[in-house]
Amino acid sequence: MAGLLENGEVRIEHITTAVHTLDRIPERLATNTTADTIVGFFTDHAPTTSPRTLARLAEELLGQLNPPDNDLYDPEAFNRRSLRISTDMLGMVHGNYQLDPRAARETRPRSLRTPDTKRQPRRV
pLDDT of residue 68: 64
pLDDT of residue 69: 62
79 backbone dihedrals φ, ψ, rounded to 5°: -70, -20
| Cβ 54 vs Cβ 17: under 8 Å | yes
Q: How is residue 119 annotated by DSSP?
A: P
pLDDT of residue 109: 82
pTM comes to 0.48
Distance separating alpha carbons of residues 24 and 90, to the nearest angstrom:
53
CA-closest candidate to residue 5, choices 37, 55, 47? 47
Domain boundaries, the chain: 2-65, 77-115
Distance separating alpha carbons of residues 124 and 121, to the nearest angstrom:
10
Q: What is the pLDDT along the chain (124 residues), one digit of tens a residue?
A: 777 878 888 888 888 888 888 888 888 888 888 888 888 888 888 888 888 898 888 888 888 887 766 556 677 877 888 889 999 999 999 989 888 777 788 888 887 777 665 566 656 5
